[in-house]
A and B are shown apart, each in its own frame.
Chain A
Amino acid sequence: MSASHHSPVLKHHFEDLGQQHASERLGMWMFLATEILFFGGLFGAYTCYRLWYPTEFEYASSYMNVKFATINTVMLITSSLTMTLAIRSARIGDRAGLYRNLLITFALGTAFMVLKGFEYAHDFHEHILPGAASFGGQIKSNAEAQGIDTGKVRLFLCFYYIMTGIHGVHIIVGLGCILWLVQQTYANKIPPENYSTVEVVSLYWHLVDAIWLFLMPLLYLAGAGLKTGGGH
Chain B
Amino acid sequence: MADPHTNHGATDHGHDYAKEADSPGGLFMVYVVVLGLALANVGLSSMGLGRYGLVVQLGIATVQAFFVSYYFMHLRQGDKIVLLTALASIFWVGILFVLFLSDYMTRHMVMGW
Contact = CB atoms under 8 A, between A and B. Distances in A.
Interface of A: 2-4, 6-7, 9, 17-18, 22, 25-26, 29-30, 32-33, 36-37, 40-41, 43-44, 47-48, 50-52, 66, 70, 73-74, 77-78, 80-81, 83-85, 87-88, 91-97, 191-193, 195, 199, 202-203, 206-207, 209-210, 213-214, 216-218, 221-222, 224-226
A26 B85 CA distance: 8
Contact of A225 (B28, B31, B49, B85): B49
A213 B64 CA distance: 7
Contacts, number: 192
Nearest to A92: B18
Contacts of B71: 84
A25 B78 contact: yes
A193 B12 contact: yes
B21, B46, B82 interface centre (most CB from chain A within 10 Å): B21
Contacts of A26: 79, 81-82, 85
Q: Which 7 A-B pairs have the closest CB atoms?
A: A225-B48, A93-B7, A217-B57, A3-B13, A33-B89, A93-B10, A192-B10
A221 B42 contact: yes
Interface in B78-113: 78-79, 81-82, 85-86, 88-90, 92-93, 96-97, 100-101, 104-105
A208 B26 CA distance: 22
A48 B107 CA distance: 12
Is chain B's binding surface mostly helix, strand, loop or mixed? helix
A18 to B, nearest CB: 8
